Amino acid sequence: MHRTSAFLLLALIFATGASAKDKDKYQHPGPIYVTPAGEKWAEKTLHKLTLEEKIGQVFMIWCRASFLNVENPEYLQLRDAIQKYHVGSFAMTVHVDGPYLLRSEPYEAAELLNRLQSDSKLPLLFAADFERGVSMRLMGTTVFPHAMAFGGDGKVEDAENFGRITAEESRAIGIHWNFFPDADVNSNPANPIINTRSFGEDPKQVGDLVVAYIKGAHEAGMLTTVKHFPGHGDTATDSHLGVASVNVDRAHLDSIELPPFRQAIAAGVDSVMVAHVTVPALDSDPNHVATISPAIVSDLLEKHFGFKGIVVTDALDMAGLTHLFANNIGRAAVEAFKAGNDLLLIPADLTASYNAMVQAVRSGEISRERLDRSVLKMLKTKASLALEEARLVDLNAISTSVGKPASLAFGQQVADAAVTLVRDNGKVLPLKSSLKSQGTAKAGLPYTTQEETHNQTVAVLFSDDVRTDSGRAFGREFRARVPDAHVIYVDPRIAAGMSDEVLKAVDEAKNVIAAVYVVPTAGKVGNTVAMPDATGALLQQLLDHAAQRTAVIAMGNPYLAADFPKIENYMCTFSNATVSEVAAVKALFGEITIRGHLPVSIPNVAQRGAGIERPIANGGSEHAQ
């Protein structure tokens, strides 16, 4: 009896010890700060590194999350970057196929990041562009609308919760650092790359939402970044494709562009991302985009603003910068580092950039003290996350940390609250669900054509490409309420050929819904926030035929109405995320209270703050929805 009890006790002690040992090897996200031991580790590690290893620590390259066999050439390339170039950090994204973003799964991403951590001599920093939460890259995670929807919602506590949930899910899969929040003030309606990525056009509101996001993210242990310094909101060029310029005077910068960055720095933001934009009021050299401008990075940001954190470039492979170094691409990294940047993000050519940095330090063009200062920042940042103690994540914990029902519901709640009604002629909204009016709806028989159903409602969904997911959630939700609705998907390639079909359906319908999917897309040739000619022409024809019977929903760019004066019913969601699609349909049918207000002004249509509020229709219950 005693022998059995002793054996059980020993087994329990052994199991407890093994469990504690396993627990100790995993990251435990918490407050971000450097302990005395972490400080000592960073200093000691710095002095042990060779010149080549130090230079590797100031580079960050892509890591595309998917399952990769250990002998897969893509995986070997990542491992080579760690072993040959001593790269100290990676930016996680996913593969793309034309217009398709090939989102991966949380477990696949976390397993790959764990493996890379194990391959590295020093702990790695993993960052990501999670502007709309982890769902931008990985499935099964919380879906959030674009930043501008939080401006339409207007609640700082929601932005704080946004930061916290994104941080929880990010840290669970091994991502430590988000390139967000966006502190740009979108004061130019023609801006092709910021638009709905910004919280709005009012510097104070933008700054308040930025600060709230930082607070929430820090509570759950995630590093934050404000971008794109000194402001990318008042531009009309996509810096991925060319040189964008902020042509305003210093007084304008001090009152509009710069205040949100000041607020973020005061709130303890961890890093500032510098834009590839020219700002003549700050640096008159036409060949000095902000990224390579000592006047903007070193003098303004670090000395004048007193920023002590990590200064990171925007991606070095963007045309806004590469056109300046077409004959010697490696020099882009050197000039950016000399300007005051600490971290060199996504070099166009890693080998050329790495070698150029080595040569610049060996020749004395960049002092070793200057290099050490940035490397020590990176090492202390790793220590602030306790990565020197535990660098892996527990894959078994993902199922309890990612995609929580309460988090998913919150993402939908924000999308619902953001919906803003700008125009209402009183003749279309709210729509009536055939399920409500008839008890049970009689949908069209299987395999019947649209002409055989007796629809009175037509929904025309305009997107860049009908092969993408744009409009799919909208269509499903719409048909769930009106099973015989005629839902038509249109893109620029097929718009002209479908015009007769669309206009015939519009002429016969009692109500028409036009949902327009226009959102900023990095590197897309042409104006990404205006409708292409073919779909724009079709929308105009639709309005010519049935403006009084039509409600237009801007599933993204809220400035759309400025191009179509005939719009009589206009609603904005500020996002094309699935939660915004669901919110739009709920609002159309009067199932939620409409209470959003414009965070931007729409030229010749409405001023910032405008918004027609509507209660739930027919005495319904929002909670029940």
Chain segment 363-387, per-residue pLDDT in tens: 999 999 999 999 999 999 999 999 9
pLDDT of 256 > 50? The answer is yes
Residues 101 and 255: their CA atoms lie apart, in Å, by: 38
Give pLDDT tens digits for 133-158: 999 999 999 999 999 999 999 999 99
Q: Does residue 441 sit in the same domain as residue 330? A: no
How many domains would you assign to the chain? 2
Three-state DSSP state, 379: helix
Taking each helix axis from N to C terminus, what angle separates 36-48 and 368-384, rounded to the nearest 10 degrees?
A: 140
Last residue in a domain, options 400, 427, 460: 400
pLDDT of 530 reads 77
Q: Does residue 336 sit in the same domain as residue 301? A: yes
Taking each helix axis from N to C terminus, what angle separates 472-481 and 578-588, rounded to the nearest 10 degrees?
A: 30
pLDDT of 414 > 80? The answer is yes
In 3-state terms the chain splits into helix, strand, coil percentages (rounded to 5) of 45, 15, 40
Q: Supply the mean pLDDT for the chain.
A: 91
Q: Does residue 132 sit in the same domain as residue 271? A: yes
Nearest alpha-carbon partner for 173 in 214, 199, 136: 136
Residues 38 and 287: their CA atoms lie apart, in Å, by: 41
In a domain? residue 413: no
Nearest alpha-carbon partner for 146 in 415, 494, 482, 400: 415
The backbone torsions φ and ψ at residue 73, rounded to the nearest 5 degrees and listed phi first, read: -55, -35
In a domain? residue 171: yes
Rg of the Cα atoms in the chain: 26
pLDDT tier at 452, thresholds 50, 70, 90:
very low
Nearest alpha-carbon partner for 42 in 384, 368, 273: 384
pLDDT of 100 reads 79
Sheet strands (E) in 417-549: 420-423, 457-462, 486-490, 511-516
Average pLDDT over residues 79-96: 96
Last residue in a domain, options 346, 367, 400: 400
Token pair for 371: 């290099």
Last residue in a domain, options 373, 400, 427: 400
- Helix ranges (DSSP H) in 154-247: 156-173, 203-219
Domain that holds residue 510: 419-619
Q: Does residue 163 sit in the same domain as residue 95? A: yes
Which range among 39-43, 128-132, 438-442, 585-589 shows the weakest confidence by mean pLDDT? 438-442
Query: Is residue 465 among the annotated active site residues?
Result: no
pLDDT of 525 > 90? The answer is no
Residues 50 and 551: their CA atoms lie apart, in Å, by: 64
More confident residue, 195 or 621: 195
Which range among 179-193, 197-211, 428-442 shows the weakest confidence by mean pLDDT? 428-442
**Any idea what the CATH number is for the domain that residue 222 is in?**
3.20.20.300
DSSP string, 144-175: ---HHHHHHH--HHHHHHHHHHHHHHHHHHT-
Residues 9 and 7: their CA atoms lie apart, in Å, by: 5
More confident residue, 413 or 530: 413
Average pLDDT over residues 81-94: 97
Average pLDDT over residues 420-441: 80
Q: Does residue 435 sit in the same domain as residue 322? A: no
Burial 567-602 (b: 16+ CB within 10 A, else e): bbbbbbbbbbbbbbbbbbbbbbbbbbbbbbbbbbbb
pLDDT of 446 reads 52
DSSP state of 276: S
In a domain? residue 151: yes
Average pLDDT over residues 201-227: 98
Q: Does residue 459 sit in the same domain as residue 577? A: yes
pLDDT of 454 reads 57
Give pLDDT tens digits for 492-517: 999 999 999 999 999 999 999 999 99
Residues 333 and 315: their CA atoms lie apart, in Å, by: 10
In a domain? residue 412: no
pLDDT of 625 > 90? The answer is no
pLDDT of 455 reads 62
Query: Is residue 240 among the annotated active site residues?
Result: yes
In a domain? residue 624: no
Task: Name the pairing type of β-strands 420-423 and 177-178.
Answer: unpaired
pLDDT tier at 319, thresholds 50, 70, 90:
confident
**Catalytic residue from among 86, 218, 232, 240:** 240
Token pair for 596: 């959003």
Q: Does residue 368 sit in the same domain as residue 450? A: no
In a domain? residue 269: yes
Nearest alpha-carbon partner for 386 in 94, 125, 12: 125
Count helices and strands in the chain by DSSP H and E runs = 21, 18
Nearest alpha-carbon partner for 162 in 214, 204, 198: 214
pLDDT of 239 reads 58
pLDDT tier at 522, thresholds 50, 70, 90:
low
Average pLDDT over residues 54-65: 97
In a domain? residue 170: yes
Q: Does residue 368 sit in the same domain as residue 296? A: yes
**Any idea what the CATH number is for the domain that residue 568 is in?**
3.40.50.1700
pLDDT tier at 18, thresholds 50, 70, 90:
very low
% of the chain with per-residue pLDDT over 90: 83
Q: Does residue 458 sit in the same domain as residue 321? A: no
Q: Does residue 488 sit in the same domain as residue 354? A: no
Q: Does residue 178 sit in the same domain as residue 80? A: yes
Average pLDDT over residues 607-625: 76
Q: Does residue 250 sit in the same domain as residue 160? A: yes
pLDDT of 234 > 90? The answer is no
pTM over 0.95: no
pLDDT of 438 > 90? The answer is no
Burial 240-266 (b: 16+ CB within 10 A, else e): bbebbbbebeeebbeebbbbbbbbbbe
pLDDT of 43 reads 98
**Catalytic residue from among 184, 314, 464, 484:** 314
pLDDT of 440 > 90? The answer is no
Residues 514 and 551: their CA atoms lie apart, in Å, by: 6
In a domain? residue 144: yes
pLDDT tier at 101, thresholds 50, 70, 90:
confident
